[in-house]
Structure 1
Amino acid sequence: MGTVVSIDVRTPLPPPALDAAIETAVAVLHQADEDFSTFRPESWVSRLRRGEVDLADCPEHVREVYRLAGRCRDATGGWFDPAWRRDGTLDPTGLVKGWAADAASAALIEAGAPDHCVNAAGDLRIRGAAGPSAEGSSAEGSGSGKPWRIGIVDPFDRGGLVAVVEGTDLAVATSGIAERGSHVVDPSTGVPASGLASVTVVGSDLTVADAYATAALAAGSDTGDLLAEFTRAGWAWLTVTTTGRIRAGKAFPGQLAAGRQQLGMPAL
C-alpha cells in the first residue's frame, strides 16, 4: 500500500504469544497489500482495472471491500467514489488502508491481544486499554483501564498537534494534503482537493472513517452539509482549513491544543 503500519500491543503476554499475535496481524496486512495494492500488477485491484477478471471472480473479502466502497459513495453523495480516477475503472484505495488496519486489529483480538493500537500511517484502530487503571490490570481487554491518547498532527507543523483524542475503543482516520500533497481529488472533476488541510473522523469502524475523511477532504470548502450528515450518523470530526482555522463537532472525543484555543478558533 506504499505506507508504513505500526502495531502497539499493551496486553501482558508471554513473549512467544506476543510474537505470534503480531506475526498474525502482519500476515493480514501483507495479504491486504497483495490483494489491493495498485503498485502490484498481480493484485486483484490491478487485474480488475485491466479487465482481466470480473469482480465475481474475486475472493469474498475483495468483493466486500468493493461493496463497502459503493456504500460509502452513496452515504457521502459521491464525495467518496471508487471511480475517482475517471477512466472507467474502480479503485477503492480511499478506504483500503482503514480496512486493512481493522482486519489486523481483529486478528490481534483473535490471537489474545485485545489491548492494542494499529496505526496505518495516521489511520488508527485502538482497542482495549493503553495500560492498567489505578485499580488493577486491563489484561482482559475490557476497556476499563487507562485510555489511549491519540495526537492529531498539525498539518502546518509536523512536530505539533491540533488536538488529542482519548478513548479505549475507537477508529481515528485523518486525511490531509500537507504531507503527500494533493493526492485526494474531487471525484466529479478530477481537480485536487482544496479548502481543507486535513480532516479527522472518529467512530467505531476504521474502514468507514477512512472513507469519510477522504470524502470530507475532497469536498473542501463545500464540506458543511457532509459534516452535518456525519454528525447525525454519530460520527465525530475535526477539520483544519488551508488558512489554519480549526473546527470540531460537538461530539469530538478530545481536546483542541491549548494554543489553538487561545486563538479563538471555534469548536462547533
Structure 2
Amino acid sequence: MGTVVSVIVGADAAHGDAAVAATAAVFARWEARCSLFDPRSELSRVGRGELALVDASAEVRDAYALALHWRDATDGAFTPHRGDGLIDLNGVVKALAVEEAGEALDRAGFAGWAIGAGGDVLVAATPAGPDGGGLPIGIVDPADRSTLLSRIDIDPPRRRAVATSGSVERGDHIWTLPGSGPSPFGQVSVAAAELVAADVLATAIVAGGRPSLDDLADRHDIDVLAVMRDGGLLATPGWPRRASGADA
C-alpha cells in the first residue's frame, strides 16, 4: 500500500512480536489481493486485463462493492476509479486491513492496542498513557511536522477511528470533482466510530471541498478538522479543542 504500519500494544516484547506478526499477516493478504504497487496482486492483474473482476476473489469484489457504495453515498466525491479508468481500492482496503488487524488482536486477547497505517488510526481500550489518560491520537500540522494541531484522548473501553487525508505525505493525489478546481483543503481529519467511514469521508471532503464538508458532516456522525491551504482551520463543533495543551 506504499505506507508504514505501526502497532502499539500493552504487552511484553514476546507478546508484542505476536501482535506485529498478526497485523503483518492481515496486511500481506490484502496486499496480495488489492495492491497496485505489487504487479502480481489480483487488482493489478485486473487492471492489465489478465483477470476479469468477476473472477477475482470475494474479498476484491466485496471491497469494490463497498467502494461503489461510498461513491454513491458521497455523490461521487469519493470514487474507486482513477482518471485513467484503473480501479484503485486503497481508499477502503487500507481501513479494512486496519480493522481486520484490530479484530485479530482482539481474538488474541490484547485488551488495548493502537494500529496506524498511512493516516488511518484505530485505537481500542488503550492502556494508560504517561499522563494517566488513554493513549492520545495526534493530528500533525501539515506546515510543521514537529507540531500537533490537535489531539484526541481515547479512554478505555472506548474505540475510536481517525483518518487524515491530504497532500502532506504523497503530494496532490486525491482527485477533485470535475470542474471544481484544486481542493481548498491541504489536510482533512475525520474522527468516527468506524475506520472505513472515517477514511472515505476524509478523502471525500478533500475532493469535494467546502460543500462536501458541510453536507457529509451533517449526514454522518463524524467530527472533522480541516486545514485550509492558507493554514486556516475549520472544525465541526464536536472536534476536541486541545492541541498540545492549548486551544486549537
TM > 0.5 between the two?
Answer: yes
Aligned equivalent of 2:167: 177
Contact 1:151–1:161, Cα closer than 8 Å, also in 2:
yes
Superposed, 1:84-95 pairs within 5 Å as: 85-95=82-92
Contact 2:166–2:187, Cα closer than 8 Å, also in 1:
yes
CA distance in structure 1 between the partners assigned to 2:212 and 2:80 by the alignment: 21
* TM-score when normalising by structure 2: 0.89
CA distance in structure 2 between the partners assigned to 1:188 and 1:51 by the alignment: 27
Contact 2:42–2:56, Cα closer than 8 Å, also in 1:
yes
Aligned equivalent of 1:139: none
Which one of the candidate residues 200, 211, 224 is aligned to 2:189?
Answer: 200
Which one of the candidate residues 151, 154, 168 is aligned to 2:141?
Answer: 154
Aligned equivalent of 2:111: 114
Which one of the candidate residues 32, 51, 54 is aligned to 2:52?
Answer: 54
AA matched with 2:204: A
| Structure 1, gaps ≥5 residues long | 135-144, 262-268
Aligned equivalent of 1:212: 201
Superposed, 1:237-248 pairs within 5 Å as: 237-248=224-235
AA matched with 1:27: A
Q: CA deviation at 1:256?
A: 4.5
Q: Deviations over 1:214-241 (max 9, x none)?
A: 1111123xx2344333333211111000
AA matched with 1:47: R
Q: CA deviation at 1:16?
A: 4.0
AA matched with 2:2: G
CA distance in structure 1 between the partners assigned to 2:184 and 2:134 by the alignment: 33
CA distance in structure 2 between the partners assigned to 1:189 and 1:108 by the alignment: 44
User: Cα–Cα, structure 1 residues 102 and 219, in superposed 2: closer, same or farther, change >3 Å?
Assistant: same
CA distance in structure 2 between the partners assigned to 1:117 and 1:79 by the alignment: 29
Contact 1:114–1:128, Cα closer than 8 Å, also in 2:
yes
Contact 2:127–2:135, Cα closer than 8 Å, also in 1:
yes
CA distance in structure 1 between the partners assigned to 2:211 and 2:127 by the alignment: 34
User: Cα–Cα, structure 1 residues 56 and 237, in superposed 2: closer, same or farther, change >3 Å?
Assistant: same
Does residue 131 of the first structure (1) align with residue 128 of the second (2)? yes
Which one of the candidate residues 17, 20, 40 is aligned to 1:19?
Answer: 17
Superposed, 1:58-77 pairs within 5 Å as: 58-77=56-75
Aligned equivalent of 1:266: none
Aligned equivalent of 1:79: 77
Percentage of matched positions with identical amino acids: 36
Contact 1:21–1:112, Cα closer than 8 Å, also in 2:
no
Q: CA deviation at 1:157?
A: 0.7
AA matched with 1:55: L
| Structure 2, gaps ≥5 residues long | none
AA matched with 1:115: G
User: Cα–Cα, structure 1 residues 109 and 247, in superposed 2: closer, same or farther, change >3 Å?
Assistant: same
Aligned equivalent of 1:264: none
| More moved, 158-167 vs 224-233 | 224-233
In structure 1, the residue corresponding to 2:216 is in which secondary structure? helix
Q: Deviations over 1:149-177 (max 9, x none)?
A: 11100011111111111223111000121
Aligned equivalent of 1:265: none
CA distance in structure 1 between the partners assigned to 2:13 and 2:142 by the alignment: 37
Q: CA deviation at 1:114?
A: 3.1
